[in-house]
Structure formats: structure tokens, C-alpha cells
């Protein structure tokens, strides 16, 4: 089934060229069904890249999904045109009276800062608090996951000795949990970050259930038992070339990054990286939408706060 986006969103043509079922606003208005309303808080600097990645992930489901993008009103984006933001994004203050079936909070390139030093941290805390009563299930990614674990559970992040970047092997735990239904015993996922929430801190928190972990990269996937808060420390939404692009960007900046691990064939950066995580990414997003959004959300969105 389709994802519904604005008629003139630039990535629409790319999605259609990939044979992804995209429904524009005109056609969606004729559908006599109640689609899922998913809000995406996009904190990444290259917003169109993230839009494309997440819309691909949300498209592999039999459910119709209406997507709305938001940004913090307390932050000025430097890497996306004002015209694009004005046409396709709302600020949190403009949607705070709405309710949503699902919310995705993306990563952000601010992980080396303390949470309270981020210029939109106060607004982030309001969004995360608002999500408790206005969203059926919230899906946190990378820095968004660290922010959520810190805000909701007081778990601190720690700075790593070097950037964790690459494709890492994970084992599935608690596999009876619907979020990992259909997963193999082991699977691969991208990580790209300078900080981490220690696995020991997550494991000893009785309010969190760990679902996937790596010997090299730590906890990838954990959640509250009711599925209202889901935390993904990696980037299963990444495209084949995203880590390569990040590596080349850092090289141009003179950062001298390490080569992403387990990514390039024979560790040769001139080789095309193998895509090793797309199938499990599709399963994860499909399971989230089905078991923790669609199956739990009330038909009347206005009842979300009461329903939970």
C-alpha cells in the first residue's frame, strides 16, 4: 500500500522511479479508509536525503501511511533551503495540538555536545513529553535514541575513543517480541556515531527490553515493554552509499576518519559497498507500523491520550 506525501515533494519522483507506491494528495482524498498518520521530526542536516531514506522504509507495508515532516522552531537549519522547509515542513508549535499514530525522531549531528547544550534541547524535551499523550508509538534513531533514553530514563551517553562507523553483526534477543518477528538469529546494521549509551546501563534498567545487540557496536534495539517508546541506536534506514558519503565528507574536512568497518569489499574504498541490511530494515519498520502503531492506535486519533 502507499505512502502519502505532498504532491510536489522533490523525492516523490525518485520513489516512483524505484517502483515504490506513492499516493499524492489528490488521489488520497478519494480513499474511504483511515490511514495512519506518521510524523517525522527530521533533525538531520541533509533533510531530503533523510526524507528519501525514511519514506523507502515506510513504504513496505500493506497500510496507507500519511507522512508529515516537522522541525524544531528553535533551530535554524543551515543545509536545507528555506524554500524547501517552508513548503514541506511545519514547526512543532504548529502541530502540538495534533495527535499521531506514530512519531519518528531522527538522529542529529550534535552528539559530541551535552544534551543541554543543544540549542533546541528545551523544545526536544517538550516534544518527547508531548509524545507520551499525543502519539501511539515513538521510534527514536541514533542521537534521537540517545536523547530519548536520557530524557525518559536518565541514561547518560559516553564518548567513544573513535567514531563507530560501519556495518556490524547483531544477535536477536527476546525474539518472541513482535518487533523482531521474522528476523534471522543474526543480522547486519549500519552504525555511525561518536557516542554510546553503555549496554550495561540499558540492560540493568528494568523498564527496557533489549531486542538486538552487537559485540562490537553494543545495543542496537531496545524498547519499553508496551512498545510506546522504541530506540534504535544505529541507522537501518541508511542507503548503500550513505556511509561512503559520510567517510568522503569527513576526509574533505580533514578529519582523517577511519575506514567504515565491514563495509567496503576487502576494505577497498574504491569498491561499491555491499547492501547487507535492507531486508531487516524493511521488516523492522513493517513490524513497528503493524504491531505497535496500527494494532494499538485508536480509530479516532483524538482518543490517543485516553487510549494509552
Phi-psi region of 115 (alpha: psi -120 to 50; beta: other; left: phi over 0): alpha
Output Rg (C-alpha) for the chain, integer angstroms.
19
Rounded to whole angstroms, the Cα distance separating 112 from 182 reads: 35
Sign of the Cα torsion 292, 99, 233, 46 reads: positive
Looking at the annotation, which residues are catalytic?
Answer: 142, 235, 237
> How many angstroms separate the Cα of 242 from the Cα of each of 53, 54, 112, 194, 284?
10, 13, 20, 16, 19
pLDDT at 22 over 80: no
- CA angle (202, 208, 213) in 5-degree steps: 55
Per residue in 245-259, pLDDT (tens digit) is 999 999 998 888 899
- CA angle (81, 285, 8) in 5-degree steps: 30
pLDDT at 307 over 60: no
Q: Please choose, from the candidates 201, 188, 152, the residue with its C-alpha nearest in 3D space to the C-alpha of residue 261.
A: 188
Element holding 3 (H helix, E strand): strand 3-4
Q: What is the average per-residue pLDDT within 138-145?
A: 98
Q: What does the block give as the cell for 42?
A: 527530521
> What pLDDT is attached to residue 10?
78
Q: What is the average per-residue pLDDT within 163-178?
A: 96
Rounded to whole angstroms, the Cα distance separating 292 from 286 reads: 10
Confidence at 37, pLDDT banded by 50, 70, 90: very high
Rounded to whole angstroms, the Cα distance separating 49 from 270 reads: 22
Residue indicated by cell numbers 522504509: 57
DSSP 4-59: E--TT-TTHHHHHHTT--EE-HHHHTT--S--EEEEEE---SSHHHHHHHHHHHHT
Q: What is the average per-residue pLDDT within 67-87?
A: 87
Within 13 Å, how many C-alpha atoms sit on residue 26's CB side?
A: 2
> How many angstroms separate the Cα of 246 from the Cα of each of 75, 144, 239?
23, 19, 12
Q: What is the average per-residue pLDDT within 157-185?
A: 95
Q: What is the average per-residue pLDDT within 50-78?
A: 89
Rounded to whole angstroms, the Cα distance separating 269 from 262 reads: 11
pLDDT at 260 over 60: yes
pLDDT at 28 over 80: no
Rounded to whole angstroms, the Cα distance separating 258 from 269 reads: 11
Rounded to whole angstroms, the Cα distance separating 308 from 87 reads: 33
pTM of the model: 0.88
Looking at the DSSP assignment, which residues form a beta bridge with residue 102? 38, 137
Amino acid at each position: 500500500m502507499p505512502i502519502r506525501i505532498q504532491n510536489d515533494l522533490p523525492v516523490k519522483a525518485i520513489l516512483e522511479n524505484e517502483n515504490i507506491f506513492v499516493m499524492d494528495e489528490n488521489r488520497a482524498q478519494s480513499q474511504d479508509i483511515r490511514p495512519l498518520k506518521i510524523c517525522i521530526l527530521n533533525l538531520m542536516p541533509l533533510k531530503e536525503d533523510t526524507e528519501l531514506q525514511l519514506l523507502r522504509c515506510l513504504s513496505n507495508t500493506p497500510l496507507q501511511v500519511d507522512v508529515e515532516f516537522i522541525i524544531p522552531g528553535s533551530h535554524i537549519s543551515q543545509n536545507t533551503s528555506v524554500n524547501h522547509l517552508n513548503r514541506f515542513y511545519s514547526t512543532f508549535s504548529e502541530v502540538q495540538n495534533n495527535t499521531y499514530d506514530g512519531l519518528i525522531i531522527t538522529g542529529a549531528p550534535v552528539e559530541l555536545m551535552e544534551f543541554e547544550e543543544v540549542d533546541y534541547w528545551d523544545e526536544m524535551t517538550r516534544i518527547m513529553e508531548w509524545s507520551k499523550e499525543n502519539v501511539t508509538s515513538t521510534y527514536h534513531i541514533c542521537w534521537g535514541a540517545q536523547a530519548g533514553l536520557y530524557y525518559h530514563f536518565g541514561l547518560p551517553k559516553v564518548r567513544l575513543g573513535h567514531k563507530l562507523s560501519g556495518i556490524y553483526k547483531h544477535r536477536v534477543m527476546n525474539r518472541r517480541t513482535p518487533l523482531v518477528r521474522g528476523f534471522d538469529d543474526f543480522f547486519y546494521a549500519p552504525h555511525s556515531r561518536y557516542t554510546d549509551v553503555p549496554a550495561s546501563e540499558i540492560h540493568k534498567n528494568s523498564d527496557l527490553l533489549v531486542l538486538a545487540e552487537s559485540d562490537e557496536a553494543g545495543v542496537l534495539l531496545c524498547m519499553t515493554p508496551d512498545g510506546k517508546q522504541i530506540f534504535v541506536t544505529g541507522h537501518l534506514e541508511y542507503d548503500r552509499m550513505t556511509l561512503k558519503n559520510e567517510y568522503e565528507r569527513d576526509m574533505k574536512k580533514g578529519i582523517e576518519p577511519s575506514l567504515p568497518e565491514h563495509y567496503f569489499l576487502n576494505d577497498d574504498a574504491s569498491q561499491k559497498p555491499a547492501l547487507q541490511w535492507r531486508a531487516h530494515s524493511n521488516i523492522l519498520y513493517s513490524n513497528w507500523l503493524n504491531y505497535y502503531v496500527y494494532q494499538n492506535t485508536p480509530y479516532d486519533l483524538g482518543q490517543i491520550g485516553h487510549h494509552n
